[in-house]
Structure 1
Amino acid sequence: MGAPNTDSSSSFLTDKSAKIFVAGHRGLVGSSIVRKLVSLNFTNLILRSHAELDLTRQSDVDAFFAAEKPDYVILSAAKVGGIHANNTYPADFIAINLQIQTNVIDSSFRHGVKKLLFLGSSCIYPKFAPQPIPESALLTGPLEPTNEWYAVAKIAGIKMCQAYRIQYHFDAISGMPTNLYGPNDNFHPENSHVLPALMRRFHEAKVKGAKEVVVWGSGSPLREFLHVDDLADACVYLMENYGGLEHVNVGSGKEVTIKELAELVKEVVGFQGELVWDTSKPDGTPRKLMDSSKLAEVGWRPKIELRDGLVDTYKWYLENVKQ
């Protein structure tokens, strides 16, 4: 357990004019972090789209850091996708993610960044990790084969932060979020995750006046969900209060069955038809819960209840996703 930062001269929250580079600011996570920092009156956010700065190009990243000299870096940029994408493009998932994080972490150290937060994913853990999954489960068994390329890259990012801390005393920390949802999620019909996929399907069924929606599996697997605005809040908290070697799990600590989730989404969307379970289809992992007690010990807990978060997300969907 790393000791919280007590050096008041390096307090993240006190310097509102500090230059903060949020890498991946247009994604689900990055956009939420930007909203959070703006709400806290940070005035000097450095944001670059992929077209403006290709993080896979080492020389471009180095030139950017040399010119901008950010004080803090939050690294949420990554190539992400579902099972189909991971199986189809394994080289992209390992190479692009390794390039992005290696370039950003190394340039951050060499150009005097005060603190860096690297964000990963719960898929870093072994396929058969104990439940709830503690941080200590890392590298204790084989990974889930369908996303091991992405997972290996993220594990390398954690280890890189640790190595730079050990060798150079660089204040690099890592946070590993559970399943996230919220504004700016991916609602694509084919390659979105379970929660946005359900929301889109119930909404379209409601609009068409459909009698039923068929969902894969039995509905029995347990999953944990965290609203992305809670993650953004946790990121700020870690930047202010954590300076340890070990990565930190960021979860809600609450599980719901896929069946409970589907019923809740159905209710929030207002679909009046039947929910039918196709039990001939696979269920996936029976349970996947992260142990976030370490983060609770440091002093942070989530605030957004699942139902409230779903209402907020559906409102965003109606306003922003082309019908």
Structure 2
Amino acid sequence: MGTVVLSVDAELGWGFHDFAEPPRDRLANARRGWRTLLDLCEEYRVPATWAVVGHLFLEACDGRHEDHPAPPGWFEHERGTDRMSSSRRFADGLIERIDGAEVDHEIGLHTFSHVELGAGGTTARLADAELAAAVEAAREWGLDRQPRSFVFPRNKVGNLQALADHGITCYRGTAPTDRPTDGYGGAGRLVRAAVGSASPPLVEPRQDSLGLVDLPASLFLFSVEGLARSVAEPFVGDPVAILARRGIDEAAASDGVFHMWLHPNNLVTPRDVVRMEAILEHLARVRARTDLRVRTMGAVAATAREGGETVAKAVATDGSAPE
């Protein structure tokens, strides 16, 4: 019995606050994309893991965060003449929509302010502060359960000890690289895979030496954009939708996990929404005629922990494999 997992990097403006030139179209559509994705999940009864940047749980702040050991200037875009608007700094009802949805979504974490925990300059102290602040913000917001799942900003895995110290039990690891489409490769490679017969990799949850469950990604649902997408679509259709459908079909025919992910701000244009609807509609059809399950990261991780699954080589606490 296979499983499909959908995880969502919910960040609004925080995903780009350290960019000199953020993508304005994605920022402008971040809130609308969030609502649209929730509506699609509701329509097709798809529970997702929403990894929320912790700052979004807040209702207000002074933009200084003086007790936070962030590098100088990290919160500069929260104040001053070029500061982010409040609609990009705070969720303002969006998390309530996740929590109150009829579909049983999971609310996880995506750090407090989108610090890359796996970046070379991120200290253990900074990682601990990011997790502590995110967990506290979620608690004060009123989340009635401990966040269990975590997504690393920009998929840079590291400082795993901080996750374990703050009650996280599962994280989205990087995709395997033994298949033609791993979700992180170049768009051209993915287009060639879609034209051929390749499928995204199915993954297995793996428990590390800290007891954390690594649930790797299979496919980023907006990995083929721009010119590559425009050139491919008239001839073969949407390459990512093709690959996603194959991943769903392969999961239904096996015991593996197909783990797809996106940001709400990827839903910029009508054709982006069409892509997501096509993928979720296919998922609904396959689920209706097979034993395919759609589960959250936390649910998959709980099953893995109960089964005592382990990796062949335990992952070290800094996120790298030991010698």
Whether TM-score is above 0.5 comes out as no
Which structure has more relative contact order (CA 8 Å, sep 6+)? It is: 2
* Structure 1 length-normalised TM: 0.31
Larger radius of gyration: 1
